[in-house]
């Protein structure tokens, strides 16, 4: 597949890296020669300097032969115009990033369908959605829906003293009894293990389970974890992400306190929020945070623009007894390190937005894709079609690539734990856990 | 401050009123009550005065916001003076002060009367009494804005001074169109109520007089016993419904009539207005049942509902002598007197929007004690209310209290007892009409001493024009740069 990406910012670079690693032909267009030089050095892609919305540059990038066009510059209008141009050139699928919320309003007569954009993505909105998804379950650091939300993939951190420490997966399988769940992966010290029956669960492991949504409570009970909707949430940073999260949470009748340094921004927030309390002080002001009761918070969301403020205020909240924290960090390289520090969930807006775009790009037979934070694994959902070569074959006859694990088969809402004898039928949903480098092979297998 | 502009506009107002004064002659001739010549004389006086002022004073091309206040205040004082003439000349009200009180009570839609029996006036004067209320309800300056091109420039200043309110909603870009729309809605509702009252059994004369006084939330009736004289539950019901309608912002009515249901339902103030009215009705009804004021609970419901809404909106019609009710009910009604209807309606009182915003402000103060560093916004209909509006409301409420205290001091100082004196001030300041004790629904204001009557007249006007327009006239610096009129014959 030939892909043209305009905008060599964080998101653009991440997408280029991912797609070129998957053996696609990637062309990157940007106005800054500096940024392009860096991208060219690191990645195996073609770089073109120029304005992404100009016909000359696009023709230079051989736009007519392109299958996918991704516009992720910092300027919304450039992205939108570039996508409209790409449509005229006959590019099949077009993705644009737009920050300005007004372009998303449903009432406008000129929405994304009219403009011929297949996916219009707002990084703040996506980030806020991600935070809200994770906030639902207190101890899970990752929740991904599959099969229309009937099945979820949940990630848990196993803490010292948890009864499942030192138990092998085979033992757990006997213990499991009534509930269907599969442990699809264990992340131990930054390394992803696709576990076998004899593997032990150890303290500080991050385990990924596939479970039916309605069994989630029972499974959490089994793992001595608890889950609930947060009652009291502190949001540090009243930017666009903080505002969106606050707005969504207050609609769920959650107690929200929103901390913001800028008094003018505070006025704006107070005007547009209802029950949420808008507090005007610095996110690192420990005394004020404590007097407002951050120690009793169920969830702390640190989403200021400064990584240091986010990390420090999350650590402060955790130290004083806040139950869980979600921290925004703009440098994804630090994510593995933050787990060690005690930060429960670290999200990079760039990764989140890029993953959303990648998920869209891979749409087809593969329904959804989630990159798991802090690991180099992805989860794919795939519906078995009647035409697939391996339909009605037992699993043992299918040649799965290395570093890939068929996590679960969902058949008519029931989770089946696959064994060698499991026969795949048309309409089954497969939830596949795979290392990133094996994804092209998985795609090939699934679409053959 | 250009007196020339003020004089010229007052002149136009007199000319306008001299035309209006001819209308009751039709009723006088039809009912043959022999009062037609008094209207002709009054009209002639108005014409001469008006013509003189228009002829002698040269209006400046623009009305500043200072002139606006004076024009509106003096127009009202002058209109009441001219409106009092038919009562005085006909001899129905022998004292001119009493006639002026009656006339001002009419124009300000108060409904307080100095007459023991209103029937002595005869049809044409009764019609004039109701008609003054109707003119004052939506405001005759707004009316002249709507129909007279003369007030074209600077109309906004006058509109603001006559139809004040905590929040502004312009429904059209041009103020003349807004005035025209508000008056059309007003006329439409009046016509509908007249027809309904006639269907319920009133004569055309009674129906149109009561419709005038309902929509203006005035409360002058053609009978001494007010609505109670008709003994007709249907009339009660029609009047209640239109009292409630008159208490709603007229630009909301316009939006509703033009098919915009959504803004109507979304208005927070509307919900607050209904909430207060309904809670007070239930409360007073239960109290009346508890104290066994009426034999059946249905009577209790009927009379409580009517009295609560008529007092809340400052109409002042009555179907029961609430002065005989239990003290708990009376104090509830006195509290309701202060509230009034929605901003932009024809009601008196403080107005629901101010009360609602004041409640929100108080809640914010309390929340600030809990979260000292919280930033909060006061919102109405999901839009932020600017700090200046809140400040002006706080100022308004304090000024209201000060005016109330001073007026009560003067009135009680002249020998009125505490309940009569204070309630008389409340009932005039909020444009209600009947009060309690000596000024109760079955009593009148005739026995009040002269100076107190003057104070109550000013209370009515201050209440109708929402204080500032009147109070500002008493501030010395307002008069500092008076410019005397340029006479027509003087060289520029």
Please write the tens of the pLDDT for every residue from A216-243: 777 777 666 655 678 899 999 989 899 9
**Is CATH 3.30.70.1450 the classification given to domain A358-446?**
yes
Give B386→chain A minimum CA distance, Å: 10
H-helix segments, A166-262:
169-176, 216-222, 240-251
Which residues in B lie closer than 8 A to residue A281 (C-beta atoms)?
373
Q: How far is CA A115 from CA A88, A96, B187, B280, in A?
A: 11, 11, 49, 56
Asked whether residue B238 is assigned to any structural domain, the reply reads no
- Cβ distance of B374 and A279 shorter than 8 Å: yes
Fold: same for A2-121 and A358-446: no
Where residue B277 falls among pLDDT bands split at 50, 70, 90?
very high
Measured distance CA(A306)–CA(A328) in Å, rounded: 9
pLDDT of residue B151: 54
Please write the tens of the pLDDT for every residue from B52-83: 988 888 777 677 777 888 888 898 999 999 99
Where residue B7 falls among pLDDT bands split at 50, 70, 90?
confident
Longest dimension (CA), chain B: 77
- Cβ distance of B373 and A263 shorter than 8 Å: no
Cα dihedral sign for A240, A242, A245, A251?
negative
Q: Which of B373, B381, B383, B389 to mutate to test the interface with A (most CBs of A within 10 A)?
A: B373
Where residue B47 falls among pLDDT bands split at 50, 70, 90?
very high
Q: Tokens representing A91? A: 């590019």
Report the length, in residues, of chain B.
492
Helix axes B96-107, B123-138, angle to 10 degrees: 50
pLDDT of residue A226: 57
| Mean pLDDT of the region A322-351 | 83
Give B330→chain A minimum CA distance, Å: 37
pLDDT of residue A342: 80
Cβ atoms of A313 and A300 closer than 8 Å: yes
Cβ atoms of A371 and A358 closer than 8 Å: yes
> Residue A366 pLDDT > 90, yes or no?
no
* Class of the domain covering A2-121: alpha beta
DSSP string over B268-285: HHHHHHHHHHHHHHHHHH
Asked whether residue B140 is assigned to any structural domain, the reply reads no
Dihedral pair phi/psi, residue A182, rounded to 5°: -130, 135
Asked whether residue B111 is assigned to any structural domain, the reply reads no
Dihedral pair phi/psi, residue A371, rounded to 5°: -85, 135
Nearest to A446 by CA among A357, A381, A379, A376: A381
Flag whether residue B377 sits within 8 Å of chain A, measured between CB atoms: yes
Please write the tens of the pLDDT for every residue from A144-196: 777 666 777 888 777 777 777 777 777 776 665 556 677 878 888 777 777 77
Residue A176 DSSP symbol: H
Q: How far is CA B136 from CA B83, B104, B110, B239, in A?
A: 11, 9, 10, 19
Measured distance CA(B311)–CA(B230) in Å, rounded: 19
- Cβ distance of B373 and A271 shorter than 8 Å: no
Please write the tens of the pLDDT for every residue from A384-411: 777 777 778 887 787 777 777 777 787 8
DSSP string over B20-59: HTTTHHHHHHHHT-S-HHHHHHHHHHHHHHHHHHHHHBPP
DSSP string over A97-113: E---GGGG-TTSSS-HH
Give burial (CB, 10 Å; 0-12/13-18/19+) of B418. exposed
Q: Bridge-partner residues for A280, per DSSP?
A: A260
Cβ atoms of A197 and A144 closer than 8 Å: no
Residue with tokens 């808008």, as numbered in its chain: A278
DSSP-based three-state secondary structure for A95? strand
Cβ atoms of A260 and A269 closer than 8 Å: yes
Range scoring the smallest mean pLDDT among A5-14, A99-108, B23-32: A99-108
Cβ atoms of A373 and A153 closer than 8 Å: no
> Residue A364 pLDDT > 80, yes or no?
no
| Mean pLDDT of the region B450-460 | 94
Flag whether residue B369 sits within 8 Å of chain A, measured between CB atoms: no
Average pLDDT of chain B to the nearest whole number: 88
Please write the tens of the pLDDT for every residue from B167-197: 666 677 777 788 888 888 999 999 999 999 9
pLDDT of residue B280: 95
Flag whether residue A185 sits within 8 Å of chain B, measured between CB atoms: no
Element (H, E) at A328: strand A325-328
Measured distance CA(A13)–CA(A8) in Å, rounded: 6
Domain range annotation of chain A: 2-121, 231-323, 358-446
pLDDT of residue A407: 75
Measured distance CA(B8)–CA(B372) in Å, rounded: 55
Question: Which structural domain, as residue segments, surrounds residue B334?
Answer: 261-439
DSSP-based three-state secondary structure for B154? coil
| Cα A93 → chain centroid | 22
| Mean pLDDT of the region A32-36 | 89
Q: How many domains does chain B have?
A: 1
- Cβ distance of A292 and B371 shorter than 8 Å: yes
- Cβ distance of B373 and A267 shorter than 8 Å: no
Half-sphere exposure of A81 (CA within 13 A, CB side): 11
**Residue A438 region by backbone torsions, left for phi larger than 0, else alpha for psi between -120 and 50, else beta:** alpha
- In what side-by-side order are the strands of the sheet with A366-371? A366-371, A377-383, A429-435, A404-411, A414-416
Q: Tokens representing B82? A: 């001219």
Inter-chain contacts counted by CB atoms under 8 A, chains A and B: 30
Nearest to A369 by CA among A190, A145, A181: A145
Asked whether residue B432 is assigned to any structural domain, the reply reads yes
> Residue B87 pLDDT > 60, yes or no?
yes
Give burial (CB, 10 Å; 0-12/13-18/19+) of A316. buried
Measured distance CA(B442)–CA(B116) in Å, rounded: 9
Burial A163-191 (b: 16+ CB within 10 A, else e): ebeeeebeebeeeeeebbbbbbbbbbeee
- Cβ distance of B371 and A270 shorter than 8 Å: no
- Cβ distance of B376 and A278 shorter than 8 Å: yes
Cβ atoms of B316 and B110 closer than 8 Å: yes
Residue A357 DSSP symbol: H
Q: Which of A247, A270, A276, A279 to mutate to test the interface with B (most CBs of B within 10 A)?
A: A270
Residue with tokens 């200043």, as numbered in its chain: B157
Measured distance CA(A136)–CA(A114) in Å, rounded: 35
Flag whether residue B366 sits within 8 Å of chain A, measured between CB atoms: no
Residues near A107 by beta carbon (within 8 Å), at least 6 away in sequence: none
Cβ atoms of B242 and B215 closer than 8 Å: yes
Helix axes B204-215, B175-199, angle to 10 degrees: 140
Give A253→chain B minimum CA distance, Å: 18
Element (H, E) at A157: strand A151-157
Measured distance CA(B289)–CA(B300) in Å, rounded: 7
Candidates 3.40.50.720, 3.20.190.10, 3.40.1160.10, 2.60.40.10; correct CATH number of A231-323? 3.40.50.720
Burial A83-107 (b: 16+ CB within 10 A, else e): bbbbbebebebbbbbbbeeebeeee
The interface predicted TM-score (ipTM) is 0.73
Measured distance CA(B146)–CA(B319) in Å, rounded: 35
> Residue B152 pLDDT > 60, yes or no?
no
């Amino acid at each position: 597949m030939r892909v043209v990406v305009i905008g060599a910012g964080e998101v653009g670079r991440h997408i280029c890296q991912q797609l070129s690693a998957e053996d696609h032909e990637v062309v990157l267009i940007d106005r800054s020669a500096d940024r392009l030089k860096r991208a060219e050095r690191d990645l195996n892609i073609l770089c073109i300097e120029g304005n992404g919305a100009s016909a000359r540059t696009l023709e230079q990038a051989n736009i007519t032969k392109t299958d996918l066009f991704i516009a992720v510059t910092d300027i919304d209008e450039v992205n939108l115009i570039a996508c409209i141009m790409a449509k005229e050139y006959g590019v099949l699928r077009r993705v644009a990033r737009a920050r300005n919320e007004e372009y998303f309003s449903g009432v406008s007569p000129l929405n994304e369908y009219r403009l011929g954009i297949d996916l219009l993505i707002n990084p703040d909105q996506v980030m806020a959605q991600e935070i809200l998804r994770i906030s639902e379950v207190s101890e899970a650091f990752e929740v991904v829906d599959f099969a229309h939300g009937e099945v979820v993939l949940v990630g848990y951190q196993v803490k010292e003293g948890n009864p499942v420490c030192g138990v092998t997966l085979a033992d757990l399988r006997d213990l499991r009894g009534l509930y269907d769940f599969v442990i699809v992966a264990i992340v131990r010290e930054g390394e992803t293990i696709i576990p076998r029956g004899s593997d032990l669960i150890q303290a500080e492991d991050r385990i990924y389970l596939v479970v039916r949504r309605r069994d989630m409570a029972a499974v959490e009970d089994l793992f001595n974890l608890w889950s609930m909707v947060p009652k009291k949430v502190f949001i540090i940073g009243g930017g666009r992400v903080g505002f969106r999260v606050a707005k969504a949470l207050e609609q769920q009748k959650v107690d929200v306190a929103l901390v913001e340094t800028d008094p003018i921004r505070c006025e704006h927030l107070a005007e547009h929020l209802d029950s949420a309390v808008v507090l005007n002080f610095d996110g690192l002001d420990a005394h004020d945070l404590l007097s407002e009761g951050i120690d009793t918070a169920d969830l702390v969301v640190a989403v200021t623009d400064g990584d240091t403020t986010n990390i420090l205020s999350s650590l402060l909240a955790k130290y004083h007894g806040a139950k869980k924290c979600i921290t925004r960090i703009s440098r994804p390289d630090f994510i593995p390190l933050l787990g060690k520090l005690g930060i429960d969930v670290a999200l990079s807006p760039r990764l989140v937005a890029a993953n959303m775009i990648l998920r869209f790009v891979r749409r087809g037979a593969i329904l959804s894709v989630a990159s798991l934070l802090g690991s180099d694994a992805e989860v794919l959902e795939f519906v078995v079609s009647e035409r697939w070569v391996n339909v009605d074959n037992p699993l043992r006859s299918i040649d799965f690539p290395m570093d890939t694990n068929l996590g679960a088969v969902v058949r008519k809402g029931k989770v089946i734990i696959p064994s060698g004898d499991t026969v795949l039928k048309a309409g089954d949903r497969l939830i596949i856990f795979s290392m990133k480098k094996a994804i092209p092979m998985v795609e090939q297998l699934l679409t053959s | 401050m250009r007196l020339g502009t003020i004089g010229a506009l007052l002149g136009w107002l007199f000319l306008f009123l001299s035309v209006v004064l001819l209308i009751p002659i039709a009723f006088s001739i039809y009912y043959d009550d022999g009062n037609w010549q008094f209207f002709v004389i009054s009209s002639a006086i108005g014409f001469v005065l008006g013509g003189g002022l228009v002829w002698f004073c040269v209006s400046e091309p623009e009305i500043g916001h200072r002139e606006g206040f004076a024009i509106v205040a003096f127009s009202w004082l002058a209109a009441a003076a001219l409106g009092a003439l038919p009562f005085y000349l006909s001899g129905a009200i022998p004292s001119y002060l009493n006639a002026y009180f009656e006339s001002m009570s009419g124009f300000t839609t108060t409904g307080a009367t100095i007459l023991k029996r209103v029937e002595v006036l005869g049809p044409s004067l009764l019609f004039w009494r109701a008609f003054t209320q109707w003119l004052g309800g939506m405001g005759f300056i707004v009316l002249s804005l709507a129909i007279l091109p003369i007030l074209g420039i600077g109309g906004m200043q006058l509109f603001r001074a006559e139809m004040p309110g905590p929040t502004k909603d312009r429904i059209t870009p041009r103020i003349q169109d807004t005035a025209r729309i508000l008056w059309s809605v007003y006329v439409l509702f009046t016509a509908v109520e007249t027809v309904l009252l006639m269907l319920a059994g009133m004569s055309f004369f009674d129906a149109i007089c009561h419709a005038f006084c309902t929509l203006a939330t005035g409360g002058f009736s053609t009978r001494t016993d007010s609505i109670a004289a008709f003994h007709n539950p249907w009339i009660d019901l029609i009047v209640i419904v239109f009292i409630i309608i008159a208490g709603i912002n007229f630009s909301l009515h316009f939006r509703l009539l033009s098919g915009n249901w959504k803004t109507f339902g979304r208005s927070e103030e509307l919900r607050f207005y209904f909430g207060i009215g309904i809670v007070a009705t239930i409360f007073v009804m239960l109290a009346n049942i508890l104290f066994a004021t009426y034999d059946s609970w249905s009577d209790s419901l009927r009379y409580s509902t009517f009295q609560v809404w008529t007092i809340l909106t400052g109409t002042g019609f009555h179907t029961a002598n609430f002065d005989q009710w239990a003290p708990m009910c009376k104090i509830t009604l006195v509290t309701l007197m202060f509230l009034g209807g929605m901003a932009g309606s024809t009601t008196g009182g403080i107005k629901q929007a101010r009360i609602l915003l004041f409640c929100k402000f108080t809640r914010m103060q309390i929340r600030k004690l809990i979260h000292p560093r919280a930033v909060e916004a006061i919102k109405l209909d999901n839009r932020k209310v600017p700090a200046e509006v809140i400040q002006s409301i706080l100022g308004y409420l304090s000024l209201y209290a000060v005016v109330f205290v001073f007026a009560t001091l003067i009135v009680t100082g002249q020998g009125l007892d505490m309940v009569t004196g204070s309630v008389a001030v409340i009932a005039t300041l909020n444009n209600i009409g009947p009060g309690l004790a000596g000024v109760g629904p079955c009593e009148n204001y005739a026995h009040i001493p002269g100076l107190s009557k003057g104070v109550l007249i000013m209370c009515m006007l201050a209440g109708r024009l929402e204080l500032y327009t009147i109070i500002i006239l008493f501030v010395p610096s307002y008069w500092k740069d008076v410019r005397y009129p340029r006479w027509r014959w003087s060289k520029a």
